[in-house]
Amino acid sequence: MSETEEKLIADGKRLDGREFEQLRPIQIEVKIINRANGSALVNFGETHAVASVHGPRALFPRWMQESDTGILRCRYNMAPFSVEDRKSPGPDRRSVEISKVSRLAIEPAIFLEDFPKATIDVFIEILQADGSTRVTGINAASLALADAGVPMRDLVTACSVGKINGVLVADLNGKEDNCSEADMSFAMLSTKKKITLLQMDGNVSKEELMILLNLAEKSCEKIYEMQKKALKEKYKRV
Amino acid sequence: MERYALELIEKGKRIDGRKFEEFRPITIKKGIVQKAEGSASVKIGETEVIVGVKLNIGEPYQDTKDEGTLIVNAEFTPMASPDFESGPPGEDAVELARVVDRGLRESKCIDLKKLCIVPEEKVWTMFVDIHIINHQGNLLDTAALASLAALLNAKVPKLDGENILRGEYERPLPVVFKPINITVGKVGEKFLIDPIFEEESILNPKLSISIRDDNNICALQKQGNGELTIEDIEKMVDIAIEKSKEIRKLV
Amino acid sequence: METKEIALPGEFIAERKGRKVSRGAYFEGEKVFAGVLGIPRMDDNEISVIPLSGVYTPSIEDKVVGIIQGVEISGWTVDINSPYLAFLPLSEGVSEFVDTQRTDISRFFDVNDIIFCKISKVTKNKTIQVSMRNIGSRKLFGGITIKVTPTKIPRMIGKGGSMISLIKERTGCEIIAGQNGIVWMRGERKDKAIEAIMTIEKESHIVGLTEKIEKMLSEVV
């Protein structure tokens, strides 16, 4: 989209009052859809995502089955009312691509070999969009999978980082996303810290890229603490 | 075949004898489709992609009222591989088109302001259509290179009032940068570029990197299964920057 | 010994120290991690994690409540509440000799019949076989079935069957809890039994559950 000369930084702070590395207020809730095997809601400021998991379950048609491993299917979808200009329902090219990269972001975390011939279906719905929707969705999906009791190596934590008015920042909101000089979507296995999603567009030098990657990792560490807290609170033993 | 490729790579070799950081022979032909405003065919080894650029008059986007627009589309034609089916683009074709688009768009390689006809009303819309002719590995780099070559070959048609005088041109398309896309794959602890078809499934994961003339990175896309570390990414970007200089000279 | 807090997938649980690492946990070198959201359990011999939820994964010797899904020529397909359909071969379901050319085997088990049986075979790519040729296996008549999270069944049965006996006594119901999460029951006060079971389902991770159930059931008239 267009990069204008818009002022996104004033007096050393971002337009919404945040520090450069500060994340928006985050809300997390798990097990919110009782008909699903697992579910979660994650809000990053005004970006709201809900994820639900059905499975592992039998996979039909048969020819789609992998005889020695399970498969993961993922659908990212934006509700028509989630954006200012109503979005026509149904997949568009952007949703198709995001569904693909979201699936690849989560797959490495799951012990798919434990479920040959079966499928695990993950549905991500964006109910309100204000920037960084795909990473919010991935954070919700990872929690929904854990909530569903799917065998996993690790959780997956995701965040966005970017460059606005020449400054490197974390967690871009809608306006910052549109006017950024660079924006990056990043996801990693939460404790192993291996990167499973990486997309960037904009214009950065190699040095800036390395700083952004480290900023993304640090931001994910903060988000992971909140994912952990949400799960442990929900299932407190006493 | 994949297991053989893997064995060889562990020993430091590749099926076709290339070095890990070596491209297959590259042939670029421009202006092969007369009816298009710009066109190019690129072969990297046996992988072949033809790109046609067509210009039409359209409306500008809301927030860029004095700039031309760019639309990139890719067709994985069934003739190119037994795995491609006819019908609307699948997720791989959509991804390829969008990644090539971002490489061109974010690098600002076309001076869009020079494609404005009447501000807020009429601008030139560039359609970049990617047609895969043969899939022998590394479609993305080939498609990106062919797109760039086609844009470099393209000319802006003359206008007679409302009508486009197809076949008569007033100037070349204003291309100011040459972004080059290099995909680097990880196999074990090694990195290699330009996979042939048989190597594709063992390169996990891959990182597609679009580099501009000033060595700035304009687009990144991790592809395939698996994970990367920050150290991996740094090495892959270094490789991409080096190779992009080599490839840029060819186009 | 169970830990106080639940563990998340990827969280470090303990050093291996030569112990067996079984379901719900995995190891990398000497370190053992949780492989599912659940309650880590460890003693001197084994480290595992009891999942808080999840679908049923069949294991040999499991006793399950199944529902006949289809009648084939030499056996029946059985829904055992898992991503995998099980098969009950004729020879494992019926002890008499049956001439399959002349007999319609649905007279033994028909679609929607409920059976209590044992998992007799699980292959590497999850082909499942069940058998009725063991003590306790039988067709279950009448009654209803409810579905609960399979990993909570041990809690519903209790140590040495203490919890399920309590519920059976106080409600006067016949109850069979399959390890696959299907619970069959028959009797007048099924409502009270279901209430008790659903409470265990929701609060199985909370300490002090037994007392709560006892109190709930003491009010049964």
> Is C209 an 8 Å CB contact of chain A?
no
The C-alpha of C126 sits at a distance from chain A's nearest C-alpha, in angstroms, of: 7
Give me the residues paired with residue B221 across strands. A199, B208
CA separation for the pair C205, C49 (Å, rounded): 13
| Among the partner residues B212, B227, B241, nearest to A195 by beta-carbon distance | B227
How confident is the model at residue C219, as a pLDDT? 74
- Tell me whether residues A237 and C84 touch, CB distance under 8 A: no
| Domain-embedded: residue B54 | yes
From the list B19, B3, B7, B24, the residue with the least C-alpha distance to B137 is B24
User: Hey, of B66, B72, B94, which one would you mutate to test binding to chain A, going by the most A CBs within 10 A of its CB?
Assistant: B94
How confident is the model at residue C220, as a pLDDT? 63
pLDDT 10s digits, A186-196: 999 999 999 99
How confident is the model at residue A122, as a pLDDT? 96
| Domain-embedded: residue A184 | yes
Number of folded domains in chain C?
3
| pLDDT tier for residue B166 given thresholds of 50, 70 and 90 | confident
pLDDT beyond 50 at A45: yes
How confident is the model at residue C206, as a pLDDT? 78
CA separation for the pair B74, C119 (Å, rounded): 51
| pLDDT tier for residue C97 given thresholds of 50, 70 and 90 | confident
Number of folded domains in chain A?
1
> Is A142 an 8 Å CB contact of chain C?
no
Query: Which ranges in C39-124 belong to alpha helices (H)?
Result: 90-93
**CATH number reported for the structural domain that contains residue A15 in this entry:** 3.30.230.70
CA C165 to chain centre: 16
Residue in chain C lying closest to A119 (CA): C83
| Domain-embedded: residue C4 | no
- With b for 16 or more beta-carbon neighbours within 10 A and e for fewer, the A109-136 pattern comes to bbbbebbbbbbbbbbbbbebbbbbbbbb
| Domain-embedded: residue A4 | no
Residue in chain B lying closest to A198 (CA): B222
Look at strands C138-140 and C128-131 and give their pairing.
unpaired
Average pLDDT of chain C, as a whole number: 91
| Domain-embedded: residue B14 | no
How confident is the model at residue B77, as a pLDDT? 86
pLDDT 10s digits, B191-247: 999 999 989 988 889 999 999 999 999 999 999 989 999 999 999 999 999 999 999
- Please identify among residues 74-103 of chain B the ones whose CB lies closer than 8 Å to any CB of chain A: 89, 91-92, 94-95, 97-98, 102
| Among the partner residues C4, C9, C53, nearest to A153 by beta-carbon distance | C9
- pTM of this prediction? 0.89
pLDDT 10s digits, C100-120: 778 888 889 999 999 999 999
DSSP string, B10-67: HTT--TT---TT-PPPEEEEE---TTSSEEEEEEETTEEEEEEEEEEEEPPPTT-TTS
Mean pLDDT computed over A204-225: 97
CA B222 to chain centre: 15
Q: Residue A81 contacts by C-beta under 8 Å, 6 or more apart in sequence?
A: none
| pLDDT tier for residue A46 given thresholds of 50, 70 and 90 | very high
How confident is the model at residue B178, as a pLDDT? 97
| Among the partner residues A97, A198, A206, nearest to B222 by beta-carbon distance | A198
Q: Can you give the residue range of the structural domain that contains B181? A: 24-248
| Domain-embedded: residue A128 | yes
ipTM beyond cut 0.85: yes
Claim to verify: residue C135 and residue C193 sit in the same structural domain: no
Claim to verify: residue C113 and residue C162 sit in the same structural domain: no
| Among the partner residues A67, A148, A236, nearest to C125 by beta-carbon distance | A67
| Among the partner residues B63, B217, B238, nearest to A204 by beta-carbon distance | B217
**CATH number reported for the structural domain that contains residue C102 in this entry:** 2.40.50.140
pLDDT 10s digits, B99-139: 999 999 999 999 999 999 999 899 999 999 999 999 999 99
User: Hey, of A139, A143, A150, which one would you mutate to test binding to chain C, going by the most C CBs within 10 A of its CB?
Assistant: A150
| Interface contacts A/C by beta carbons within 8 Å | 102
Q: Which of A60-74, A206-220, B172-186, C15-29 has the lowest mean pLDDT?
A: A60-74
pLDDT beyond 80 at C4: no
How confident is the model at residue A1, as a pLDDT? 42
**CATH number reported for the structural domain that contains residue B83 in this entry:** 3.30.230.70
- Tell me whether residues C83 and A235 touch, CB distance under 8 A: no
Average pLDDT of chain B, as a whole number: 93
Q: Which of C126-130, C143-147, C194-198, C215-219 has the lowest mean pLDDT?
A: C215-219
> Is A115 an 8 Å CB contact of chain C?
yes
Given C140, C158, C178, the domain boundary residue is C140
Which residues of chain B are within 8 Å of residue A100 when distances are taken between CB atoms?
91-92, 94-95
Q: Can you give the residue range of the structural domain that contains C156? A: 144-218
| Among the partner residues A195, A204, A205, nearest to B229 by beta-carbon distance | A195
| Domain-embedded: residue A238 | no
CA dihedral B19, B23, B25, B26 (to 10 degrees): -170
| Domain-embedded: residue B12 | no
Given C140, C162, C197, the domain boundary residue is C140
**CATH number reported for the structural domain that contains residue C180 in this entry:** 3.30.1370.10
Number of folded domains in chain B?
1
Claim to verify: residue C67 and residue C136 sit in the same structural domain: yes
| pLDDT tier for residue A2 given thresholds of 50, 70 and 90 | very low
How confident is the model at residue A5, as a pLDDT? 63
Claim to verify: residue C123 and residue C180 sit in the same structural domain: no
Higher-confidence residue of A120 and C216: namely A120
- With b for 16 or more beta-carbon neighbours within 10 A and e for fewer, the B64-82 pattern comes to beebbbbebbbbbbeebee
Mean pLDDT computed over C167-175: 92
DSSP 3-state of B145: helix
| Interface contacts A/B by beta carbons within 8 Å | 103
Q: Do chains B and C touch (3 or more CB pairs under 8 A)?
A: no
CA separation for the pair C182, A26 (Å, rounded): 38
Given C110, C140, C170, the domain boundary residue is C140
